[in-house]
Structure 1
């Protein structure tokens, strides 16, 4: 399918949305995306929003200069990036859906505006992040990493309550 978007010579930025809402995720990412678009517009950039959720403000026709109502999947965004040739892509505002594309963007040499893939990856990896905090002598709550239910139970015996159980990269 041909792309009907007329490419301009303006400097442009792509903002990746979060795609369909899931329980506990959605509206806060839409709010962030809209304000990211507005900030980029204030700086003089043409703004391009990629999202596929009809129930969001970020997909309103007058929010961004251009809207690609497409799934936030690599195949779709890569084609759009090749067509539009933006200055860069903002992934940090679209939640895990957008963040999970940061590695491929980085691998293909596409500029990520804001936090780099390496920094995102470090922050998402609980073990590596705690090592960094330790090296920098920044205090943080006790934690443990478990890969099985038995390991989690053993950690619960050694850590203080309350416990927060959360997977990495989510």
Structure 2
């Protein structure tokens, strides 16, 4: 439409330039495209039947891809019964809990140039967000590879995500962010049953599900806010 309007007042219309001006994203902080020599991978952590197995596989493939580029790999994963902790896969493996205190110890000892958070599932994402807020990555000069922390927070926090969607005018189901059981009940009365409850910074599990009435919602809210 803009091209047609411009053509009516000018004989020259550069479509390529117009597309670039509309779609080209210019980051606030320029990306560092240098290749790190050593990368820390946040592993998949504990596995159970029916969940988290995909992160073990994706993490293993990430390690292989990094090694093909001659990048040294350091893995932190407390679970010995995974493919990614197999002998000879990663250059170095730390069998430590995936919590900020232990991850910082590994970063301090290994001094990786970058870290991959998105191959550790929800545990890895949550750990990365905590480390970022504590200033650990900046303290040791570790670059976040892949999805930026800001994007992780914007999509994992239900309230912020709803605000971002509203800004771009995307049509989605109405929602409310709550911080107590009573707030959840009040929000459901406003939205109308049935409602879907989801805990922030989680892919599912306890506290997530559908509620057809007040009692079902109360059960979900108690689990999510525990």
- TM-score range normalised by the length of the shorter chain: 0.7 to 0.9
1:117 maps to 149
Distance 1:161 1:64 in 2: 49
Task: Select which of 94, 100, 114 maps to 1:88.
Answer: 114
Shift in Å, 1:152: 2.9
> So what's the TM-score if we normalise by structure 2?
0.63
Distance 2:99 2:112 in 1: 17
Distance 1:149 1:100 in 2: 23
> So what's the TM-score if we normalise by structure 1?
0.81
> Which is richer in helix?
2
Instruction: Give unpaired runs (5+ residues) of structure 1.
Output: 1-9
User: What does the per-residue CA deviation read over 1:92-139, in whole Å, with 9 as the maximum and x for residues that have no partner?
Assistant: 111222222223443121322112222211111111111111111222
Shift in Å, 1:14: 1.0
2:195 maps to 163
Distance 1:70 1:163 in 2: 39
Answer with 1 or 2: which has the greater Rg. 2
The 5 A counterparts of 1:27-42 are 27-42=53-68
Moved more, 155-164 or 46-55: 155-164
Instruction: Give unpaired runs (5+ residues) of structure 2.
Output: 1-35, 203-226
The 5 A counterparts of 1:12-161 are 12-22=38-48, 25-106=51-132, 107-108=135-136, 109=138, 110-159=142-191
C-alpha RMSD of matched pairs (Å): 2.3
Distance 1:167 1:85 in 2: 34
